[in-house]
Structures are given as structure tokens and as C-alpha cells.
Amino acid sequence: MAFAITQTCCADASCVSVCPVNCIHPAPGEPDFGSTGMLYIDPQACIDCGACADACPVDAIFPVASLTEQLKPYADINASYYDGKSTSDGDPGPNFHAWGEPVFDRAIPAGFAPLDVAVVGTGPAGMYAVEDLLSHTNSRVTLIDRLPVAGGLVRHGVAPDHTSTRKIGETFARFHHHPRLRLRLGVEVGTDISAAELAARHDAVIYAVGASSPRDLGVPGEDLPGSLAATTVVGWYNGHPDVPADAVDLAAERVVLVGNGNVALDVARILTMDPAELANTRISPDALERLRSSKVREVVVLGRRGPEDAAYTGPELLGLAGRHDVDLVVDEHDDRIGQAIDTAARGDKAALLRGVRREAVDWTAPPPHGQRRIVLRFHSAPRAFTGDTQVRGLRVTGGEDVEIAAGRVIRAVGHRGAPVGDLRFDERTGTIPHTGGRVAPGTYVVGWIKRGPSGGIGANRTCARETVGALLDDAIAGRLPRRRRGGVVRRALRR
Ligand SMILES: Cc1cc2nc3c(=O)[nH]c(=O)nc-3n(C[C@H](O)[C@H](O)[C@H](O)COP(=O)(O)OP(=O)(O)OC[C@H]3O[C@@H](n4cnc5c(N)ncnc54)[C@H](O)[C@@H]3O)c2cc1C
Ligand SMILES: NC(=O)c1ccc[n+]([C@@H]2O[C@H](COP(=O)([O-])OP(=O)(O)OC[C@H]3O[C@@H](n4cnc5c(N)ncnc54)[C@H](OP(=O)(O)O)[C@@H]3O)[C@@H](O)[C@H]2O)c1
């Protein structure tokens, strides 16, 4: 028997660091790390000790023998990652590459004076940086967030039904009470306090401010009533303080989602699932009430490319395909779609759709009655919103132009960072320019504001490691600017 990693894997590699036989890959430092969406246990090398399951912050690891019906495919998904790579069968095969040893230690000179570091942002990137600083150095940390509630997207992004994933918030929150940490909520850097003032009070400042503004689509009609950004819908169901409780109304029978990343799948799932299942989650009570009286019967998820290039990750698609309260359908409007699905190799993204029903959907007909459904439509780029005073539909192209009648269109086409005070900002990428996390000695970035808006929670752990490493290098080399002391900042941070 072996253990297997399943759907909610956050890929932060906590499991890698405790595995005594190094059988979990890709590990930090290996070529695929950060690009596979999840980590995999080699069933041939696993010694079944369970250390990984104990260390997993999101309860994603189980013995293969006890996998539930819905999670059973993960035994094969874990094993197939090692096809042709296994180090334990004597014949390494064509895809073999030597596994690296995970590297997690950090060394600073003994007797080094404590640093005062401000970390701006309480999302995963900020918290991995905090964890690294508090666990491996004697630094004192001031942790700041503009919102009155800590957690960043773990609190206000991760879908409410992903209860295991949201548990990682508890792991992060342990550090809020660390004796060397001061938590300052409701303080916005750039508004309540300037970046210069913050720098003056600390040896170093790490910006972990994320990139949670919606990207624009740039097609006509995008601003019509009935066109919503996914950030609004996500903020609405997660009770984000910036989003009004009545921001989303669900009076339309068909909703179109533009983009087929994991955020689109989250929104499609929440809009179609049985509200009773959401009742015991942290969903906003107002959103739950509206979902109970929702008119939505169909959600159409549009991808501008084919099923082989869908932006969602395999575990999220499998989670949707395994639901019993929602029908999942692929709109087979183009020969390329069936072909890509039928010819995909095991492990390829398109192969995940092999068991999913396919039909050529008639977009002139209303959504069918009966169980709610999610339609995946590929090779369909948005051209224009239709409607004069309210969205009536979306014209899409990709082969022939088609108008999909829909009372709501949700744009889930990714995110963008926003400038912070007068820190340099790259308008093209929506990030703060840096080298290895260093903006300048004393100023650092981590997470989505550093790398751009992609990657799950765990990807921020190695990112934080690099940033904290740059900070410590500067500290040890004596490159940090000298700190000035002043009352203004102390007052702002006391709020
Ligand atoms: C809708 C959604 C769902 C997701 N679900 C999952 C999932 O299920 N699993 C998974 O692995 N990944 C998920 N992700 C990805 C994951 O959330 C990100 O990888 C991660 O949150 C990025 O971390 P961050 O710390 O850079 O940014 P954030 O989490 O956005 O944190 C940034 C923090 O900075 C604060 N802040 C911003 N500006 C200022 C300022 N000027 N002053 C003070 N504070 C400020 C914000 O209030 C926020 O708390 C999801 C992403 C989204 C958008
Ligand atoms: N594990 C989880 O449960 C989870 C949940 C939510 C989010 N996340 C992570 O958070 C990150 C952000 O997710 P996301 O869904 O916001 O972003 P994303 O993965 O980048 O997906 C964005 C989608 O928008 C499409 N798109 C972009 N511009 C477009 C345009 N002009 N016209 C049409 N389509 C357009 C993209 O198509 P192309 O691919 O063709 O560019 C893609 O399908 C991802 O790394 C994601 O995995 C993880």
C-alpha cells in the first residue's frame, strides 16, 4: 500500500520536507516544481509511514486503500507521474531525471542582531515570508493588512466549499500570535502610511500585496449592467468587506463565464451546486440566501483555446466531473475538440474529458430543465457583449461566430496588481519590478505582486524563500539602509 496526494494539494511541499525516503515530487529545486499544479507520491518508493499526511496543511494525503470513490482516480494520477521516471525499477526510462534533494535549511551567523521587518499583506505570500523569518531568524515582524480580517485570498478567494484548502489559513494564523510579531489590520500602505514612512521605521519591508484586481477583457459592451468581474462574484460569496451583499443577482437562467482557469471553475461550481451543501461552509449568509432563490440553470465556461490548453488544473476539473448534482457537458461545435480529447495521451489535460458527455449545443434554445448543467465550450473567443441597456448575450468566434444568449456574463480572465504608493510599478505586467525578490536593498516583494497572478497557495512558499534569502543576504552584507525613528509611523501603526 502507499499514500496518494489528492484534489486539494496546495503544492507548498510541506510533505516533501518530512518524507524520509524523498518519494514526493516534483520537489523544490526540481525542473517541474511550480508547474504541475500538484505534487505526486511515487507508489513504488513510498514506505507508508504517513509523515506526509500528518504534515499536509490541507488534508490532501490519504492511504490509497482508503480513498473515497471520488478520490480513487488519484492513485493512478500519482503513479502515472512516475511513468518512465521511476528510480526504483532499475530501468529509468526515457523521461528519467535525477531527483534533487529538497533544500529547506537557512543559515545566518550566530549572534546576528535582530532585524525589524515589516511584511505588508497577510495572504499566503506574506505568511510564508513571516514563517520563514520567525522560524529561521530572530527577526521581529510587523504584519500589516489593509483589511480588518487577515488571510488575503485564502480568506476571500478560495471557494467556501474547499474547506480543506481553507484550513491552511489556520496554519498561517498560528503566527499571528507569535511573541515576535505585531499584527496591524486595517492599515493601508500608500493611504494610511506611506512606503517611505514604513521604511524609515524598519530595517526592511516586504510587500506581499497580491494582485487581486480584475483584468479587463477589452471587448465592446464589457461595462453593460449584467457584466461582472469574477472578483466581484468571488468577493460576494466570500463576504469580502469591499463587495456589497447585493452585488450579484441571479435572475438569469444562463450565465456565461469568460475564461476557463480555476477561478472560472470555482464560480461555475458555486453557481450550480446545491445550496444545502454550502450551508455548513464559511459562505457569506447573504450570498447563500440569494443562491437558494437563484434562477440559474446553466453556466457556460468559455475557453479561447482547445481542451489541451485549458487553463484549469486537472484536480479542479476532476472535482467538477465527479459532482452528482451538476451535469458536465462539452459543446462539440468543432471537430478539433473531439479529436483532441480522443487522441490525448494519458496524463494530458484533454484526456481528463474522455468520460464527459459531448453534444453540439443549440444556443438558440433556452437551457434545458432538470438538473443544472455546466457546458465547457472551447475554441471560443469573446467578440462583443450584446444588449443595449443590459447584457443580453455574448458574441463569440472561433470558426463560425455564434451569439450565446445570457442574462449575466462573468469575466474570469485573470488578475492584475495595483501600484503601492510611490513604489516603482510595471504597468505592462502589473507587478513591482525586482531581481530575485529585491526591489532595492531594504525593499522586497513576494507572491503575486512579484511573479504576477498565477500559481496556487503553495507556489508562494518557494517564492518567499527566495525573497527572504535576498533580504538576509543584504542584511549579512551590511547593505540595508540605516533606519530613522519617528512618531508619525508609530501613530499610524497603532490604529
Ligand atoms: C478566487 C481565487 C481562488 C483561489 N483558490 C485557490 C485554491 O483553492 N487553492 C490554491 O492553491 N490557490 C488558490 N488561489 C491562488 C492563491 O490564492 C494565490 O496563490 C495567493 O493568494 C497569492 O498570495 P499573495 O499573498 O501574493 O496575495 P493575496 O492572497 O491576495 O494577499 C495580499 C494581501 O495584501 C493585502 N494588501 C493589498 N494591498 C495592500 C496595501 N496597500 N496595504 C496593506 N495591505 C494590502 C490584501 O488585503 C491581502 O490580504 C486562488 C486565487 C483566487 C483569485
Ligand atoms: N487550486 C485551485 O483551486 C485554484 C482556484 C482558483 C485559482 N487558482 C490559481 O490562481 C491563479 C489564477 O487563476 P485564474 O483562473 O484567475 O487565472 P488563469 O488560470 O490565468 O486563467 C485565466 C483564463 O482567462 C483566459 N483569458 C485571458 N485573457 C482573455 C481574453 N482576452 N479573452 C478570453 N479569455 C481570456 C485565459 O485564456 P488563455 O489560457 O488562453 O490565456 C484563461 O482561460 C491560477 O494559477 C490558478 O490555478 C487555483
Q: What is the DSSP string of 346-382?
A: TTSGGGGGTTSEEE---TTSPPPSSS-EEEEE-S-EE
Domain boundary among 386, 414, 442: 414
Q: How close is the Cα of 97 to the center of ligand 1, in Å?
A: 33
* C-alpha span between 363 and 401 (Å, rounded): 12
Q: Does residue 427 sit in the same domain as residue 394?
A: no
- Asked whether residue 94 is assigned to any structural domain, the reply reads no
Q: Which atom of ligand 1 is nearest to the CA of 188?
A: 42
- Asked whether residue 372 is assigned to any structural domain, the reply reads yes
Q: What is the mean pLDDT of residues 428-435?
A: 97
The SS3 call for residue 31 is coil
**Ligand number, closest to the Cα atom of 304:** 2
Q: Does residue 436 sit in the same domain as residue 407?
A: no
**Ligand number, closest to the Cα atom of 34:** 2
User: Where are the strands (E) in 75-185, listed by range?
Assistant: 116-120, 140-145, 181-185
- Select from 158, 257, 262 the residue to mutate for testing ligand 2; criterion: most ligand atoms less than 8 Å from CB: 262
Radius of gyration of the chain (CA): 24
Q: How close is the Cα of 157 to the center of ligand 2, in Å?
A: 13
**Ligand number, closest to the Cα atom of 237:** 1
Domain boundary among 414, 444, 472: 414
- Select from 158, 185, 432, 461 the residue to mutate for testing ligand 1; criterion: most ligand atoms less than 8 Å from CB: 158
Instruction: Name residues whose C-beta falls within 8 Å of residue 489's C-beta, 6 or more positions apart in sequence.
Output: 193, 197, 198, 200, 201
**Ligand number, closest to the Cα atom of 37:** 2
Where in the sequence is the domain holding 195, given as residue range(s)?
116-212+417-494
pLDDT number for residue 104: 43
pLDDT number for residue 483: 65
- Asked whether residue 98 is assigned to any structural domain, the reply reads no
Query: In CATH, what number is assigned to the domain containing residue 470?
Result: 3.40.50.720
Domain boundary among 81, 103, 136: 81
pLDDT single digits (tens) 14-35: 999 888 778 899 988 888 888 8
Number of domains in the chain: 3
Q: Which atom of ligand 2 is nearest to the CA of 162?
A: 3
What the block records as the C-alpha cell of 242 is 469591499
Q: Does residue 208 sit in the same domain as residue 247?
A: no
What the block records as the C-alpha cell of 404 is 450565446
Let me know: does 373 contact 298? Beta carbons within 8 Å. Answer: yes
pLDDT single digits (tens) 340-363: 999 999 878 999 999 999 999 999
- Asked whether residue 237 is assigned to any structural domain, the reply reads yes
Q: Does residue 391 sit in the same domain as residue 276?
A: yes
Nearest CA to ligand 2 atom 27: 413
Nearest CA to ligand 1 atom 49: 152
- Asked whether residue 386 is assigned to any structural domain, the reply reads yes
Q: Does residue 230 sit in the same domain as residue 168?
A: no
What's the predicted TM-score (pTM) here? 0.89
- Asked whether residue 109 is assigned to any structural domain, the reply reads no
Q: Does residue 223 sit in the same domain as residue 293?
A: yes
Q: Which amino acid, 332? A: E
Q: Does residue 262 sit in the same domain as residue 160?
A: no
pLDDT number for residue 105: 55
Q: Does residue 435 sit in the same domain as residue 471?
A: yes
Q: Is 382 touching ligand 2 by the criterion CB < 6 Å?
A: yes
Supply the mean pLDDT for the chain.
Answer: 91
Q: Does residue 239 sit in the same domain as residue 356?
A: yes
At residue 315, does pLDDT exceed 50?
yes
Q: Does residue 429 sit in the same domain as residue 405?
A: no
* C-alpha span between 32 and 95 (Å, rounded): 12
In percent, how much of the chain has pLDDT > 90? 79
Q: What is the mean pLDDT of residues 325-340?
A: 96
Q: Does residue 278 sit in the same domain as residue 389?
A: yes
Q: Is 316 touching ligand 2 by the criterion CB < 6 Å?
A: yes
Helices (H) and strands (E) in the chain, counts: 17, 22
pLDDT single digits (tens) 168-189: 999 899 899 999 999 999 999 9
Query: In CATH, what number is assigned to the domain containing residue 255?
Result: 3.50.50.60
Q: Does residue 206 sit in the same domain as residue 236?
A: no
Q: How close is the Cα of 449 to the center of ligand 1, in Å?
A: 10
Q: What is the mean pLDDT of residues 194-212?
A: 96
Q: Which atom of ligand 2 is nearest to the CA of 165?
A: 3
Q: Which atom of ligand 1 is nearest to the CA of 211?
A: 30
- Asked whether residue 120 is assigned to any structural domain, the reply reads yes
pLDDT number for residue 490: 45
Q: How close is the Cα of 125 to the center of ligand 2, in Å?
A: 19
Q: How close is the Cα of 365 to the center of ligand 1, in Å?
A: 39
Let me know: does 126 contact 242? Beta carbons within 8 Å. Answer: no
Q: Which atom of ligand 1 is nearest to the CA of 459?
A: 19
Which protein residues are within 6 Å of ligand 1, measured from CB? Answer: 10, 120-126, 144-147, 152-153, 157-158, 162, 165, 188-190, 208-210, 212, 234, 263, 266, 420, 447-448, 455-457, 460
Q: Which residue has the higher pLDDT, 85 or 446?
A: 446
pLDDT number for residue 29: 81
**Ligand number, closest to the Cα atom of 211:** 1
- Asked whether residue 105 is assigned to any structural domain, the reply reads no
Q: Which residue has the higher pLDDT, 487 or 259?
A: 259
